[in-house]
Amino acid sequence: MRVAMIGTGYVGLVSGACFADFGHDVVCVDRDEGKIERLRNGVMPIFEPGLDDLVGQNVRDGRLTFETSSAEAVRSADAVFIAVGTPSRRGDGHADLSFVYAVAEEIADLVEGFTVIVTKSTVPVGTGDEIERIIKQRRPDADVAVVSNPEFLREGAAIGDFKRPDRVVVGTEDQRAQEVMTELYRPLNLNETPILFTARRTSELIKYAANAFLALKITFINETADLCEAVGADVQQVARGIGLDKRIGGKFLHAGPGYGGSCFPKDTLALVRTAREAGRPMRLVETTVEINDARKAALVTRVSDAIDGDLKGKRIALLGLTFKPNTDDMRDAPSLTLVPALIAAGAEVQAFDPEGMTEAAKHLPGVSFKTGPYEAVEGADVVVVLTEWDQFRALDLDRVKTLVRTPVVLDLRNVYQPSDLRSRGFRYSSIGRA
């Protein structure tokens, strides 16, 4: 089938490359001429394991192309995907849909014949109705079906999530659109992937409800970790003990500094706003947002507690800056809250992240970025493990001890076993473990 993917951000680029790998003809469109030129030359705008190889192979095979103009791609497409950003709107936290609606207007002027317009961007309930209204008002003769098809891609594992998903959700009651969407996802039949067809508004809400529930689960185990510290329990064993219950499951029960990234923060805020506007406030989600914000704000206190006092003049080594490993995404990363607080307290901050330092440098002035983990810990008064990159899991601890000024480690991801650090003479603290 012929696919036009409007937007080459995280969702659009991964989705377009995977659809091309399924055998469809895909044109990815973005107005950023520099980005398109780089993509044509095999330079990825984001770090995602395996994406450069996937894009390169499908470009060479002629199934994936990149354009700055959407005209020809939309006219010839069986399905046009809207995959542009929906950041939190300033002031009220609701999703900013200006990019989505601008694309809808553009599409309306270009479509020819029956075309399925697919919202891949994460959008609040009712957005599909407005897209349909915009298109019909601009082009009353347009033969289109507007469909919701939310993405459930984890950064760092997006290609696998697209090709081997838990489910595919499609919001439409148009039979022709169902047939097009079924054909697009037909390669997943081999994996017996469930394709859930729902009403459009239901599909839009599924995305927000899923992310809010996962954010709630993370926040629950983080609060449990605080209780574990107070009563002398081990949060990792608690998480395993409850996670073995099949009704709960073990995923997203890893205590840490708080959730971040491109989805959970903005999607929980948007759901809170939608619920309030509908007169049905979601108190659990509202509280989840508040607790998570407070947790990240309190990280500076954990650092000062680790060294028993004043941060002024102390050298803090941060291992990891991105919100999670295997991505260069800095959006709502805990480091964005922690680093300014450390610097404001008079600390000197040096850091290393395997992929995120270029992006981090745009947001974290005053940080001394290092070329590796051992360079980052040199002369440190405390080493803070902030992101659980694989290469931080097996550091030569004896070498680390010779490099630091004071052998103190604050492990915010529970990467290490307390006995391993303490047997080497480190003062060690972690999350939810006595």
Single-letter code of the amino acid located at 60:
R
- Backbone torsion region of residue 66, taken as left when φ is above 0, otherwise alpha when ψ lies between -120 and 50, otherwise beta: beta
State the fold for domain 213-295: N-(1-d-carboxylethyl)-l-norvaline Dehydrogenase; domain 2 (1.10.1040)
State the fold for domain 298-430: Rossmann fold (3.40.50)
**Quick check: do 2-198 and 298-430 share a fold?**
yes
Report the DSSP pairing between strands 25-29 and 115-119.
unpaired
Single-letter code of the amino acid located at 303:
V
Count of positions (residues) in the chain: 434
What is the pLDDT tens value at each position of the chain, 434 positions in all? 999 999 999 999 999 999 999 999 999 999 999 999 999 999 999 999 999 999 999 999 999 999 999 999 999 999 999 999 998 887 677 889 999 999 999 999 999 999 999 999 999 999 999 999 999 999 999 999 999 999 999 999 999 999 999 999 999 999 999 999 999 999 999 889 999 999 999 999 999 999 999 999 999 999 999 999 999 999 999 999 999 999 999 999 999 999 999 899 999 999 999 999 999 999 999 999 999 999 999 999 999 999 988 999 999 999 999 999 999 999 999 999 999 999 999 999 999 999 999 999 999 999 999 999 999 999 999 999 999 999 999 999 999 999 999 999 999 999 999 999 999 999 999 999 97
Compute how many other C-beta atoms are within 10 angstroms of the C-beta atom of residue 173. 12
Single-letter code of the amino acid located at 48:
E
Does residue 263 carry a catalytic annotation?
Answer: yes
Helix axes 299-306, 283-297, angle to 10 degrees: 40
In angstroms, the CA 180 to CA 115 distance is 9
State the fold for domain 2-198: Rossmann fold (3.40.50)
Give the domain ranges of the chain: 2-198, 213-295, 298-430
Helix axes 283-297, 334-344, angle to 10 degrees: 40
Q: According to the model, what pLDDT value does residue 434 have?
A: 76
Single-letter code of the amino acid located at 360:
A
The pTM of the full predicted model, rounded to 2 decimals, is: 0.93
